[in-house]
Amino acid sequence: MQLLDGKFVSEKLKQEIALEAAEILERTGRKPHLVAILVGNDGGSETYVASKMRNCEKVGFNSTLIFYENTVTEAEVLNKIEAINVDPDIDGLIVQLPLPNHIDPEKITEKINYRKDVDGFHPINLGRMQRNLPSFIPATPYGITLMLQEYGIQTAGKHCVVIGRSNIVGSPMSILMAQNSSTGNCTVTLCHSKTPDIKKFTLDADILIVAIGKKNFITADMVKDGAVVIDVGMNREISATTKSGYKLYGDVDFENVAPKCSYITPVPGGVGLMTIVGLLKNTLASAKREIYK
């Protein structure tokens, strides 16, 4: 079993991103600039956004955090997005989910200029990705493909089973793994909460990508020997034994599944770190005008 070390790979790729950001600064006199909008005081969201901002600074980007209380109106957020859309100094914009119930996340996503949608959630980006056209790819699937590439994991001709059908991870992941690309060309099965007898599918998976949001959902008897297992789960539980006051668990029972795998990601230390790299690479591409001229 070999660990897919998100910390090692992310640090390597961030060094490469920093070099390109420095070249942009030298050539144009400006840094790539990412703006994040955070609404409310969700602990997980605050932690994740803070990490994104720190990583921007680390690779030489400018970063701006715009915070609103839960009482902010939908119109106020939409107006701020409109102002950011037309600001030539801003290359990327993300709005951290979840949002309060009175704010429609679809309205928010569609309001973002797709040329600055570095989370890759806008329908235009998702549609272009589905057609294998240049686009901003959703950050988590993008990070996973980068990890597969860095470890030289062969995907062509393999059976990839994706558990979870969200627009953020599962659905775009299934499309990417099936595409004619260096980290694609798989035969893909997409399973979800309504799939009967999921074990029948997971046991046949050469590559198993799990993003269902249930602690230890995948157990050892559901994984075949030699499989590559990518655990996207980030399940937080209160803990008295950690400094932060909570502990993270994946969707995979790591301790018992790992001995059966050829490769597996840990939680934490795996996909979460690669998600940030995907976001940084999208922001860099936006600053370089690589995708949308």
Active site residues: 52, 96, 119
d(CA 120, CA 126): 7
Comparing CA positions, the residue from 293, 281, 283, 207 lying closest to residue 9 is 281
Question: With helix as H, strand as E and coil as C, how does the chain read?
Answer: CEECCHHHHHHHHHHHHHHHHHHHHHHHCCCCEEEEEEECCCHHHHHHHHHHHHHHHHCCCEEEEEEECCCCCHHHHHHHHHHHHCCCCCCEEEECCCCCCCCCHHHHHHHCCCCCCCCCCCHHHHHHHHCCCCCCCCHHHHHHHHHHHHCCCCCCCCEEEEECCCCCCHHHHHHHHHCCCCCCCCEEEEECCCCCCHHHHHCCCCEEEECCCCCCCECHHHCCCCCEEEECCCEEEECCCCCCCEEEECCECHHHHHHHCCEECCCCCCHHHHHHHHHHHHHHHHHCCCCCC
d(CA 132, CA 286): 18
152 CB neighbour count, 10 Å cutoff:
6
